[in-house]
A and B are shown apart, each in its own frame.
Chain A
Amino acid sequence: MHRYIVSRLLLVIPTLVGAAVLVFILMRLIPGDICLVRLGSGGTSFSAQALAACHAEIGIDRPWLLQFWNFIWDLARGDLGISMWSGKPVVQEIATRFPVSLEVATMATIIAITIAIPLGTISALKQNTWIDLVVRTFSIAGIATPAFWLGILSILFVLDLSQAITGHPWMPSIDYVPIWKDPIRNLSIVMLPAITVGYRYAAVSMRMTRSAMLEVLREDYIRTARAKGLLEKIVINRHALKNALLPVVTVIGIEFAFLIGGLVVTEQVFNLNGIGRLMVLSVQNQDYTMTQALVMLVVTLAVLSNLVVDLFYAWLDPRIRLR
């Protein structure tokens, strides 16, 4: 097992380095110049010296190789640098936006789990009945519905509903407050995005639960459990569900890591100031340091969740380690 962990950990390094190379090159291939935008944004004219000074200040006049070395070296020391656009430390910029994305992703996951596991299980147990048909339709629809459209519709619904009840339309506030400071206001901001994202997420996990459950229910040990006269409840909960949930947990874990970086559209619809929109902004502003830091953050999260899943599997199934 130790050898497996070490070899698996070593495989993480090329992925991280590869992602660093990719984002570094991609950003520099994008035409444009952050200094032109920064200097010209006030509408004033500027001299060539000012432009050169700006280039020197943020270090983009240096050769690519040196810039890349600095990026990797700083990264290795845990220094994400200063945002080329705002001049503030990247860590600080990310820290103000990360909580919103993290909270939406976490709540969406909770919603997904509470919907997906019971419905997926019921669907498998009542296979090919009308219940199964309804659940499957619900889940296929969830995969087919664009999250941003659902977001627009839910805003519309809330507006109309509040108009009908109180007489004036209500919209959740835009400024994020942590849940421990003002839980009601926090939930009013986060709830709708979490539901719209959670529905799709639930749909994916529901299908996974159903097919995993169907597979497990055909196993011999389930027949044995039933044959020895166990209560159906115990057979399902203790023998079937426990084994069926393994692939479901995998899907949830991996989706969660991707979710944090993939909330862009939802954040756009609900006007949330999260990581996703920061990514779009930083690419559009040609803020190399910020984009590089964000990409490395998202890639690290994805790689780590994959690693955890792999190690977990290897721990459960010794055959994987020996391959």
Chain B
Amino acid sequence: MTDIAPTPAGAAVFTDDTYVAPRGVWSAVKRFVVRQPVGMIGIVIVALFGIAGLTADWIAPYNPTSNDFSAMTEAPSWAHWLGTDQLGRDILSRILFGARTAFIVGLTSAIVGGFSGLVVGVGSAYFGGRIDLFLQRILDIVMAFPLIIMALAVVSIFGTGVQNVIIAITIPLIPRCARVVRSSALAIREIPYVDAARALGYSHSRIILNHMVPNVVAPFLIMLTSFVGQAILAEASLSYLGLGVQEPVAAWGLMLQGGAEEYASTAPWIAIFPGLAIMLTVFGINLFGDALRDVLDPKMRER
């Protein structure tokens, strides 16, 4: 069977089943669904929470911040599917709105941290020499620095709030991405085509963007996926410590703070459901990330 599939550049190439090079996005998706059923489960889980976060305004049965002192620490029932917390707030509604917070923080931190790391990593490998040495030392410092002090400092200097939590979580992600990208990029730099591009007089930015970045995309995407999960976990931990998102904003980590421990034995649902939401979301992201690695990394594909 021969069909015409558009390449990312927009030009059309003839493809058939024996020729596996550029395929359309749609058929790549179809292949992923068939070959990676576990990864699909991950996508479905993440999509459910993502949709919950997007549509929380319409689907949440209650206002996530309004207290109902006549219904405090109520067990799950038809009125409150997941029960209520110590202030009488509906836990299901808070989890739905918490999904929004988690995804905003998770996606923003991962994307900003990942792309900054990509620029630093590829740049460091491409320019080499003193620039590389200098950038590597900066990354060393940030990586060895205790995250909690960094987060505390950011929050103390700029104040609490979602955007500052994002800053605190993003900073430590940058060196980790830069490290991995740099080591992939170093290998590519040795390949003669980079020298050829330089001999042709191409600009640095053109060589970096057109010739090096596309070759480190696979490890980069895999890392970006795992960053989303890690950022969601980090946000939950910071909020739990009282250094992240602040009341009354609905955030999963925050829901586990204070009341959850105090009422753990009398109202365990306060502690169980928000944690389950965090776990399921990050679990889904990791399932997807693993499948993505299997697809993108040819060495893994053989196995």
Binding site for B on A (CB under 8 A): 11, 14-15, 18-19, 22-23, 26-27, 29-32, 127, 136, 140-141, 143-146, 148-149, 152-153, 155-156, 159-160, 163, 169, 214, 261-262, 264-265, 268-269, 276, 279-280, 283-284, 291, 294-295, 298-299, 302-303, 306
- Complex: A127 Cα to B300 Cα, angstroms: 12
Chain B interface, >50% SS class: helix
Q: Is the CB of A279 within 8 A of B156?
A: no
Extra A-B contacts (12), CB below 8 Å, given A144-B280, A146-B240, A279-B146: A14-B137, A15-B140, A22-B145, A30-B153, A143-B229, A143-B282, A152-B260, A152-B261, A265-B237, A268-B241, A283-B149, A284-B152
The answer to whether B216 has its CB under 8 Å from any CB of chain A is no
- Complex: A143 Cα to B225 Cα, angstroms: 13
Chain B residues in 8 Å Cβ range of A153 = 271-272, 275
- Complex: A112 Cα to B193 Cα, angstroms: 44
Q: Is the CB of B157 within 8 A of A140?
A: no
Indicate whether A279 sits within 8 Å of B144 (C-beta atoms), given known contacts A146-B237, A149-B256. Answer: no
Q: Is the CB of B156 within 8 A of A31?
A: yes
The answer to whether B197 has its CB under 8 Å from any CB of chain A is no
Q: Is the CB of A31 within 8 A of B157?
A: yes
Minimum distance in angstroms from B293 CB to a CB of chain A? 10
Chain A interface, >50% SS class: helix
Q: Is the CB of A269 within 8 A of B261?
A: yes
Q: Could you list some 9 contacts between A and B, CB below 8 A?
A: A18-B138, A19-B141, A26-B150, A29-B157, A30-B153, A148-B256, A152-B256, A214-B303, A299-B146
- Complex: A211 Cα to B256 Cα, angstroms: 34
Binding site for A on B (CB under 8 A): 137-138, 140-141, 143-150, 152-153, 156-157, 229, 233, 236-237, 240-241, 253, 256, 260-261, 264-265, 268, 271-272, 274-275, 278-283, 285-287, 290, 303
Q: Is the CB of A29 within 8 A of B283?
A: no
Q: Is the CB of A265 within 8 A of B282?
A: no
- Complex: A301 Cα to B283 Cα, angstroms: 31
Q: Is the CB of B278 within 8 A of A146?
A: yes
Minimum distance in angstroms from B202 CB to a CB of chain A? 27
Chain A residues in 8 Å Cβ range of B153 = 26-27, 29-30, 283
Q: Is the CB of A264 within 8 A of B148?
A: yes
Minimum distance in angstroms from B11 CB to a CB of chain A? 37
Q: Is the CB of A11 within 8 A of B137?
A: yes
Q: Is the CB of A26 within 8 A of B137?
A: no
Q: Is the CB of B290 within 8 A of A149?
A: no
Indicate whether A261 sits within 8 Å of B264 (C-beta atoms), given known contacts A30-B153, A140-B290. Answer: no
Q: Please provide the 10 A-B residue pairs with the shortest distance between their CB atoms, ordered closest to farther.
A: A149-B275, A144-B282, A18-B141, A144-B283, A302-B144, A26-B153, A30-B156, A261-B146, A283-B152, A15-B140
